[in-house]
A and B are shown apart, each in its own frame.
Chain A
Amino acid sequence: MKPRFLIPLGVFAALVVVLIVGLKDSRTVGVLQSPLVGHRIPDWSLPLLNDPNRSLSAQQLRGQWYVLNFWGTWCYACRAEHPVLLAAQRDARVQIIGVDWKDENSDALSWLAQLGNPYAQVVTDKAGDTAINLGVAAAPESFLVNPEGVIVYKEPGVITAQSWKREFLARLPPQSTVPAAAGSGS
């Protein structure tokens, strides 16, 4: 066997290594990563679901870790995601802020009454402006935001028990818990 005829096999082996590495990292590829990841979250300020006269904003949540979760009662996949969020709330590692997107307040309130409320706060985005600013394409979508207000991770679809652990909890500081008075509205 002459060595030069082994060259193609060697090149191919190197290629396979590259592909294996690529495949390992491919769990989040195939869906577009938000260009906002690693940048400060665009300023938002939205009315609270249970008290539309008051509002909650990105400014008020500065200094805290939080997950911004876009959902709607019209969204089937959100129903599938709901139990995962409830379990996450019981763990109390990070507060989840729900954004009820393009929805009726009464529908949203009865949904939460019926299925349980995993959210520290729920705000409403009827016109969908905030969703546009954040590049939300379809509910559910969730953003993990750090105390500096920087988006650390974006989940472009349904959060599963697995992805909650792997993508959200893994990015939190080890001892983080939900703050006692979670970002009270003004």
Chain B
Amino acid sequence: MLPELGHFALVLAMMLAALQGFFGIAGPALGRERWMAATTSAVAGQFVMVATAVGILVYAFVNFDFSVLYVAENSNSALPLMYRIAALWGAHEGSLLLWIFLLAVWTLAVAIVIRRLPEPFAARVLGVLGVLSFGFLLFTLATSDPFKRLIPAAADGRDLNPLLQDPGLAMHPPVLYTGYVGLAVAFAFACAAMLEGRMDPLWARWTRPWTTAAWAFLTCGITLGSWWSYYTLGWGGYWEWDPVENASFMPWLVATALIHSLAVTEKRGLFKSWTLLLAILGFSLSLLGTFLVRSGVLVSVHSFAADPTRGRFILGFLGLVIGGALTLYAWRAPLLKSNAGFDLLSRESFLLFNNILLVVAAATVLGGTLAPLIGDTMGQTSLSVGAPYFRPTFLLAIVPLLLLLSLGIHANWKRGRLEAAAKPLLVTLVVAVVLGAAAVFGFFGGHHALAITGFGIGGWIILSSLVDPIDRARRHISLSRAVLGMTVAHIGLGVAVIALTGVESYTSERDIALAPGGSAEVGGYDFKLLGTRALEGPNYSATQATVVVSREGRVITTLYPQVRDFWVQQQSRKVAGIYNLHGTDLFIALGDDLGAGRWSLRAQIRPLITLLWLGPLFMALGGALALSDRRYRLARADARAPVPGTAHGEAH
């Protein structure tokens, strides 16, 4: 009975979404105030319905209701509670429901905050979000019903994919989806502005916090995914340029560009049509990612079950939504004029370069990801590209971006005078390069010119970001949260650059075969296999090896890598043994039983890898700080009285 109610709740939610879309868009167009007012009620009702559906599906998982097909396919009586809940997003149907739920949460948040904005604008934003939600609900009900019954009920379930039975992965999809879906808000703001046919600095101020929030979630989600693949897939890799990884990375790059162009639009009223385009692009790429993952067009380790029917539906939806938005753009964007100019070396210029380079980077990733499809279209067979393509092309766009960053944050708005900042810039550059060289020659050894460059760039970003805050602190001038957030995020980027340089230049890796008592040396550390033993978990049996790591005869730690064989799915999953020594990971993964007590093992020494997780965390933290800036709260209070369009052209 309950699952049927869940299904019914989704149907009601879809109808409410349709009303929300209709009232939200038609209301302002026809000037019907009651229609506009009804939008908010539809949002609230829709949220309740979607939440009910999610609650019912979770209830079915927790209580082992194997008469629900999705539950029977993705859980098992031996599955621990935490993973029974995480199983909700363990496969296509449920993760789509999660997507819809998160969209409902974002929409509700927007509806609450946006009440303070002019009513027609607020209604249009909610209307666009309603259209998106309607599309996804229709998709779920038509092709991917999570409440479908299994008659007769299964005695037991087929269990959750073992790869998902891990705390890191249980968290990764919700966080990532929150980011993906959050970009829908910026998209809706852009569409509302185009429907109104005007856009002003105040619009940018309203849009910024939402974009920053979505971006911060996206940053965390991608990092969590990378961390998970690092310690659980057993090869010790953290980024493989896999289509699905790219699908999350492209919206991130565009969202990063959007954050920066919104800053220009807010402060100077420039880049208007460009900002709109980025807002459309960011969400479009996250829709495209959904399409690529769920339609089976591309082969990937993360793919959901391939289904061309679903693919056709998403492609149609994608065409309508993005095509519609871009048509609107072609029609309305020419109306948006900005008449302010700026010098070549002004901050506007640097942010323009930032935007161009980020979009070029996203385009190269998109090109590489779609290469197999483009090859097909041209009649070539399976043209597939990997790291050898992505690395150099991506660096080609990103290295100039990183080099320009330090200059950009010291440039003035409008005026192109860098003289005042020349001295601190030069000093920080020299210090960063010297420190980088010292790290390479004095600590890591080897003579990598690339490593010095990487450390130098990362160090320069960090040091030059600190110049202004330190200067202000010395003169007892307070720092706004927005500037503080920017500084923290840029430092996070510098930290990530240093970490990547270290990990890429100085990782030692070896695949070794050891019998109990045997040992091997990797990167100056001795790995000694003491033995293996059998273990039993709640729904798996495991082989656990005991490996002692020592350096120059001194024992550092004992690691216990495992291979877990899951009973129901007959799949195994590795859990690597990792010890962190001052930011360097000593990593060992257990491979195959080679017979006669011998085992294959993969040992890695990865210096600075801790920073690779900390850097993005700092970036997200910076986003959170910027979000809490006072002026966003003020902006909302401001907006109540006057009509937008009479821009409060003050500069912050």
For the complex, give the distance between the alpha carbons of A2 and B295 in Å.
Answer: 35
B6 to chain A: closest CB distance in Å? 28
Beta-carbon contact of A12 and B311 below 8 Å: no
Beta-carbon contact of A8 and B331 below 8 Å: no
Beta-carbon contact of A6 and B297 below 8 Å: no
For the complex, give the distance between the alpha carbons of A9 and B322 in Å.
Answer: 9
Q: Tell me if A87 is interfacial: C-beta within 8 Å of chain B.
A: no
Contact A23 to B323, CB < 8 A, known contacts A1-B330, A5-B273, A6-B330: no
Q: Could you say which residues of chain A place their CB within 8 Å of the CB of B296?
A: 26, 29-30
Contact residues of A between 1 and 46, Cβ < 8 Å to B: 1-2, 5-6, 8-9, 12-13, 15-23, 25-27, 29-32
Q: Could you say which residues of chain A place their CB within 8 Å of the CB of B306?
A: 26, 29-31
For the complex, give the distance between the alpha carbons of A101 and B72 in Å.
Answer: 28
Beta-carbon contact of B326 and A23 below 8 Å: no
Q: Could you say which residues of chain A place their CB within 8 Å of the CB of B303?
A: 30
Q: Could you say which residues of chain A place their CB within 8 Å of the CB of B273?
A: 5
Q: Could you say which residues of chain B place their CB within 8 Å of the CB of A26?
A: 295-297, 306, 308, 311
Binding site for A on B (CB under 8 A): 273, 277, 280-281, 284, 291, 295-299, 303, 305-306, 308, 311-312, 315, 318-319, 322-323, 326-327, 329-331, 333-334, 370, 372-374, 376-377
Given contacts A6-B330, A29-B296, 6 further A-B contacts (CB under 8 A): A8-B329, A15-B370, A21-B376, A22-B376, A26-B297, A32-B299
Q: Could you say which residues of chain B place their CB within 8 Å of the CB of A5?
A: 273, 329-330, 333-334
A139 to chain B: closest CB distance in Å? 12
Beta-carbon contact of B370 and A18 below 8 Å: yes
Beta-carbon contact of B373 and A21 below 8 Å: yes
For the complex, give the distance between the alpha carbons of A13 and B344 in Å.
Answer: 34
Q: Could you say which residues of chain B place their CB within 8 Å of the CB of A6?
A: 330
A4 to chain B: closest CB distance in Å? 9
Select which of A2, A19, A27, A29 is within 8 A of B315 by beta carbon: A19
For the complex, give the distance between the alpha carbons of A25 and B303 in Å.
Answer: 16
Beta-carbon contact of B377 and A9 below 8 Å: no
Give the bracket for the number of chain A residues in contact with chain B: 20 to 34
Beta-carbon contact of B329 and A23 below 8 Å: no
Select which of A12, A17, A22 is within 8 A of B297 by beta carbon: A22
| Nearest residue, chain A, Cβ from B336 | A5
Select which of A2, A27, A30 is within 8 A of B299 by beta carbon: A30
A173 to chain B: closest CB distance in Å? 22
For the complex, give the distance between the alpha carbons of A17 and B334 in Å.
Answer: 27
Select which of B322, B327, B377 is within 8 A of A17 by beta carbon: B377
For the complex, give the distance between the alpha carbons of A28 and B471 in Å.
Answer: 61
Select which of B280, B308, B377 is within 8 A of A18 by beta carbon: B377
Beta-carbon contact of B315 and A1 below 8 Å: no
Beta-carbon contact of A19 and B291 below 8 Å: yes
Beta-carbon contact of B326 and A9 below 8 Å: yes
| Nearest residue, chain A, Cβ from B570 | A138
Q: Could you say which residues of chain A place their CB within 8 Å of the CB of B297?
A: 19, 22-23, 26, 29-30
Can you report 25 residue pairs joining A to B where beta carbons are below 8 Å apart?
A1-B334, A2-B334, A5-B329, A5-B330, A5-B333, A8-B280, A8-B281, A9-B326, A12-B322, A12-B326, A18-B373, A18-B374, A18-B377, A19-B315, A19-B318, A20-B315, A22-B373, A22-B377, A23-B308, A23-B312, A25-B376, A26-B297, A26-B306, A29-B296, A32-B299
Beta-carbon contact of A27 and B308 below 8 Å: yes
| Nearest residue, chain B, Cβ from A138 | B570
Most buried by A among B281, B326, B333: B326
| Nearest residue, chain A, Cβ from B328 | A9
Q: Could you say which residues of chain A place their CB within 8 Å of the CB of B284?
A: 12
A18 to chain B: closest CB distance in Å? 5
For the complex, give the distance between the alpha carbons of A25 and B308 in Å.
Answer: 9
Select which of B330, B334, B372, B374 is within 8 A of A8 by beta carbon: B330
Select which of B299, B330, B331 is within 8 A of A29 by beta carbon: B299
For the complex, give the distance between the alpha carbons of A30 and B303 in Å.
Answer: 7
Q: Could you say which residues of chain B place their CB within 8 Å of the CB of A27?
A: 308
A154 to chain B: closest CB distance in Å? 15
Q: Could you say which residues of chain A place their CB within 8 Å of the CB of B377?
A: 17-18, 21-22
Select which of A1, A8, A17, A20 is within 8 A of B277 by beta carbon: A8
Beta-carbon contact of B323 and A9 below 8 Å: yes
For the complex, give the distance between the alpha carbons of A27 and B329 in Å.
Answer: 35
Rank and list the top 8 A-B pairs by shortest CB-CB distance, nearest first: A30-B306, A30-B296, A22-B373, A22-B297, A9-B326, A5-B330, A21-B377, A6-B330
Select which of B291, B311, B329 is within 8 A of A9 by beta carbon: B329
Q: Could you say which residues of chain A place their CB within 8 Å of the CB of B311?
A: 23, 26
| Nearest residue, chain B, Cβ from A27 | B308
For the complex, give the distance between the alpha carbons of A19 and B333 in Å.
Answer: 27
Q: Could you say which residues of chain A place their CB within 8 Å of the CB of B323?
A: 9, 12-13, 16
Most buried by B among A6, A12, A16, A21: A12
Select which of B315, B330, B333 is within 8 A of A16 by beta carbon: B315
For the complex, give the distance between the alpha carbons of A161 and B92 in Å.
Answer: 26
Most buried by B among A2, A8, A9: A8
Q: Could you say which residues of chain A place their CB within 8 Å of the CB of B299?
A: 29-30, 32
Q: Could you say which residues of chain B place their CB within 8 Å of the CB of A25?
A: 376
A127 to chain B: closest CB distance in Å? 15
Q: Could you say which residues of chain A place their CB within 8 Å of the CB of B373?
A: 18-19, 21-22
Most buried by A among B296, B305, B322, B334: B296
For the complex, give the distance between the alpha carbons of A26 and B376 in Å.
Answer: 11
| Nearest residue, chain B, Cβ from A21 | B377
Contact A9 to B370, CB < 8 A, known contacts A23-B297, A29-B297, A29-B299: no
| Nearest residue, chain A, Cβ from B319 | A16
Most buried by A among B297, B308, B312, B323: B297
B386 to chain A: closest CB distance in Å? 15
A137 to chain B: closest CB distance in Å? 11
For the complex, give the distance between the alpha carbons of A32 and B377 in Å.
Answer: 20
B229 to chain A: closest CB distance in Å? 19
Q: Could you say which residues of chain B place their CB within 8 Å of the CB of A9?
A: 323, 326-327, 329-330
Q: Could you say which residues of chain B place their CB within 8 Å of the CB of A32?
A: 299
Q: Could you say which residues of chain B place their CB within 8 Å of the CB of A8?
A: 277, 280-281, 326, 329-330
Most buried by A among B277, B330, B333: B330
For the complex, give the distance between the alpha carbons of A186 and B329 in Å.
Answer: 74
B323 to chain A: closest CB distance in Å? 6
For the complex, give the distance between the alpha carbons of A18 and B373 in Å.
Answer: 6
A153 to chain B: closest CB distance in Å? 15
| Nearest residue, chain A, Cβ from B333 | A5
A8 to chain B: closest CB distance in Å? 5
For the complex, give the distance between the alpha carbons of A8 and B334 in Å.
Answer: 13
For the complex, give the distance between the alpha carbons of A32 and B295 in Å.
Answer: 15
For the complex, give the distance between the alpha carbons of A23 and B284 in Å.
Answer: 18
Q: Could you say which residues of chain A place their CB within 8 Å of the CB of B295?
A: 23, 26
Q: Could you say which residues of chain A place their CB within 8 Å of the CB of B308?
A: 23, 26-27
For the complex, give the distance between the alpha carbons of A2 and B333 in Å.
Answer: 9
B584 to chain A: closest CB distance in Å? 35
For the complex, give the distance between the alpha carbons of A127 and B277 in Å.
Answer: 60
For the complex, give the distance between the alpha carbons of A147 and B179 in Å.
Answer: 54
